[in-house]
Every structure is written in C-alpha cells, then in structure tokens.
Amino acid sequence: MSDFIQEETKLIQFKNSKKGKIPPQALDLEETIIGSIMIDKKGLDEVIDILFPEVFYKKEHQEIFFVIQKLYHNSIPIDLYTVLNELRKIGKLESIGGELYLIELTQKVISSAHIEYHSRIVIQKFILRKLISTSSYIIQKCYEESTDVFDLLDHAESKLFELHQKYLIEKKYETTQCLIQKAIEKIKKTEKEGLSGIPSGFHKLDYITSGWQNSDLIILASRPGMGKTTFMLSMVKNIVVEKKIPIIIFSLEMSSIQLITKLISSETGISSGKIKRANLSQLDWEHLFHKTKKLKNVPLFIDDTPSLSIFSLRAKCRRLISQHGIKLIFIDYMQLMGVHDHSSKLQNREQEISVISRSLKSISKELDLPIIALSQLSRAVETRGGNKRPILSDLRESGAIEQDADIVLFIYRPEYYGFKNWDSDEDNDSCIGQAEIIIAKHRNGGLDKFRLKFVSDQAKFLNLEEKKQSSSVWEEDFKKNVLDQENFLGTSPCNRNNLEDHTLSEFNSFNEIDFNNNENSLKE
C-alpha cells in the first residue's frame, strides 16, 4: 500500500457512475475572483491565506493564480500588465487564452467587494471534488483482495484531516478591545474559582500553573520506573473522582484493565501486589467494594488501542468531545504512537516523533483543551555522574518535543538509583518515599521544582502534607459500620447470618456490573 499517493493521482479523473456528470465547480466565481484581484490590489490581501492554485477548477485559472501568488511573494505589484508579463515570461500566456482572456476577466468586475465570500464558495466546491476523488479511490481499493483495511482507513482519515487543516481553518483575528475584555473576564473567573485551568490536585503544581490551561501541550517525562503512569493516575483520580471533570486516557502501553486496576489500588489503599495476586481478605474485599462504588460512574474514558495514529486520535477526541464533553486528554505514552501518513517521506524515528509532537500541539489548539502526553527520556540521564536529575536535552528521539510543548515536567526519584538522601549521603534530607517534580519548561510562567510523597505499593503520589492511607484506619471504619449494623439488626445468630448473606450478595451483584461502562461507549 506504499503507492497510495501515486495511484490516487492517476485516479484524479473522477469515476462517476453517471456518464458525463460535471464535478462541483463555480466557474463564474473563479473568473470574478481573478478579475477583481487584477483591478483592486486590496482584493488579494483578503484571500491570499485561504486561496491556493489547486482550488480553481479550470486549469487556466490555476495557472493565472499561480503567477499572481508568485508576484505577491516577490513583492511585485499585481495588475493586468504584471500578470500578463509574467505569464509571457514563463511561456503560459497562450495556454491560458492569451491577452484577450485576461482583459475579459478584468472587465467582468468593478471592485473586489465580497471576494472572501466568493472564495469560500470556490474552496467548498474544490473540497467536494477532493471528496469525490478520495471516495472513488477508496471504493476501488475496497474491491481489491490485496487491500489492507487498516492502511485504507488511515489513508482516508489522513486525507480528511489534510483537507480540514489546509482549507477549512477560519482566519481568526480579534481587536485588542475584544481580547482585553476576554482577558479581564478570565482574571475575574480565576479570582472567584482560585484557578484558571483544570486542577491537578497537587497544591504546589496548581499554584505554579494555575491548573492545566486550554490549548496547552504538557509533556510529562521520566526514565522507565519513575512513576509516569502512577503520577498520571493520581491526577486522574483528583480530576474525575473529586472534580467530576470528563477526561480520556489513550493507553498505548497498558491495557484498560491493568490501568483501572492500578486506579483501584490507588483509591482503596490496598497494595497493587495484593490485588494482582488476588490475595485479599474478607475485610479487603469489603473495603474494595465500598471504595470502588464512587468509581463506577466517574466521567473517565479509556482507549487502549495499540499503535494509535495521530489521525485516529484526533477523530476519537472530536467524537468524545461532542458526545461526552471531554475536557482533558492523557496519552500514555507518545513514543508508542504511529504516524501512518503515506504522504510523508519520513526518514527516521526522530522525524516521526516531530510530526507526532507538532500534531498534538495542533490538536490541543484546535480542540481548545489541554493534552498531557507522557514521554520517555534517553539513557543519557543514567550515564551522568552525580545526581540524575533530567534536563530538557534528555527528551528522547526529538528536540521538537521541547519546542512544541508549553510545559515540560520531569519526575525524579533518587531512591530509584539507590540514593538515601536528596543531594548527598552526608546530609539528613531523606529521599525515601519521595519524588521531585521538575518544571523544566513553562511557556507562560516560571520554572520551579517541588516534592511529593510517592507510595509505590498503593500506586499513588500525594502532597507531602497528606497522609498515606493506612489499612488500620479503614479497618476501624469497617468494624464500626459492622457494629452499627449489628446494633440495628440485633445480635442473634440469625440476624448476623442475614447481614453476612446480604453483604456477600450485594458485593456479588456489584461484581457482575461492567465496571468500565465508559470504555464500551468508545467502541460503539
């Protein structure tokens, strides 16, 4: 399927089932646009960023606009004479109809009024032609036995994405008066709510960033084993459980069941090892049942599609925003994403990561929500002497990640490398059970670092002032609940048996529920 583009070019002649059917076009408007540009120098300024030679249906108009575009970029005045002269110079004057045709175009209009409106109609006709062309190609490939359906889907998605990005993005500019008003409204909202973005749940991080901001690309990076996924899930718990903000996790490394199991460990305080081995006491089961009740209906969506392409990601995000109001996107992790763009001649993995990074930033801006992408660091971190704090140049496979990101966070745990103290073994500043979050880049704020508590057996990060969830605490709560129920039911063996049977049946009924209902909605 590597010859997609070459084959589609041959198929550019539309294969309509009805013989002689004319493709969508607006020749009269094409003539009006070109004529108005040659008589009014202001006309081109209105449309130079949305018009391209290929959007014109008539080949002669494509040639003329190509020359107009060339003159504009060379800062040469555009009028009937300069366009005519340039066409003659490149040997295209006769092929477009000669001097007479150019003169006729200028005589069809008296000004460039409504040129942008006319241009958008011409663009829409062009998009319809491209859709016909792409659809014809896809239909033909569907009948071929050798076609890879996933390659074909990627091709279709990439073509639609390309059309939208190049031809349908509106010109967006606003006056300072309007922008100042919006800024003041945002400041007032921040004053009232405390944060202008989505809170992470970590006090110092939220103080520095004021929450995750719309259209920001945030990179969370570390070496393997530092706790990237755990840190992500700690934020997820704070955001969806406490704040009820809808989010999507694209998990390319772990399955959705593995991910939700880690979240259960974090929420219940039961060690992930005990859950993995199913080595749970009756008390553990009872606690797990009570604690996971509030996880059932949280607005969390998980997609564990492997090697997810950037085009599939964008399509899924748009659908989830429309259907469920998603406000934040997590990707775990970006080096596992694929490009699958057959139109690109990518030479190496660094170029692929650059495309992924740039596309993620584009998607966050287009959808106007934050994207938090987890990323690996290179082995250079571990080869350095002294402490192993990561730096921006450690970002793996591409410097484009550093360039595209609005915020870069690093996780550093000296304990992972066998250190007992933060800066040297001689001081008494213990690093056991702690992590340092380093803000290495912050496009709209300052750089900083701060420490969090790391509870590895419960798969969670905590603010330093928070206490680790102790089993003795929830054991006492559970015993108190049982005692209260015994007092209510009486202490007869019959009533005790009824209580145990009721508790067991209630848990079994919960266990039969499809825990991650949200995941199924992604597949529909």
- Tell me the pLDDT tens digit for each residue of 485-508: 444 344 444 444 444 444 444 444
The pLDDT score that the predictor gives to residue 19 is 52
Q: pLDDT, tens digit, for every residue of 3-35?
A: 443 444 444 444 444 456 789 999 999 999 999
The pLDDT score that the predictor gives to residue 484 is 46
| CATH number attached to the domain at 4-167 | 1.10.860.10
* 93/402 Cα distance (integer angstroms): 49
Return the amino acid letter for 114: H
Catalytically active residues are 253
Pairing mode, strands 448-455 and 434-442: antiparallel
Strand, coil or helix: what is 328? strand
Q: Which residues of the chain have pLDDT under 70?
A: 1-20, 165, 169-173, 340-347, 396-398, 424-427, 466-524
DSSP structure class, residue 523: H
Measured over the CA atoms of residue 217, residue 221, residue 224 and residue 225, the dihedral's sign is negative
| Intervals of CATH 3.40.50.300 along the chain | 179-254+304-469
Residue 302 forms beta bridges with which residues?
249
The pLDDT score that the predictor gives to residue 519 is 43
The pLDDT score that the predictor gives to residue 471 is 47
The pLDDT score that the predictor gives to residue 476 is 53
Rounded to 5°, the CA angle 265-270-273 comes to: 80
pTM for the model stands at 0.65
**Cis peptide before 333, with omega less than 30 degrees from 0?**
yes
* 405/407 Cα distance (integer angstroms): 5
The CATH fold of domain 179-254+304-469: Rossmann fold (3.40.50)
Strand, coil or helix: what is 51? coil
| Intervals of CATH 1.10.860.10 along the chain | 4-167
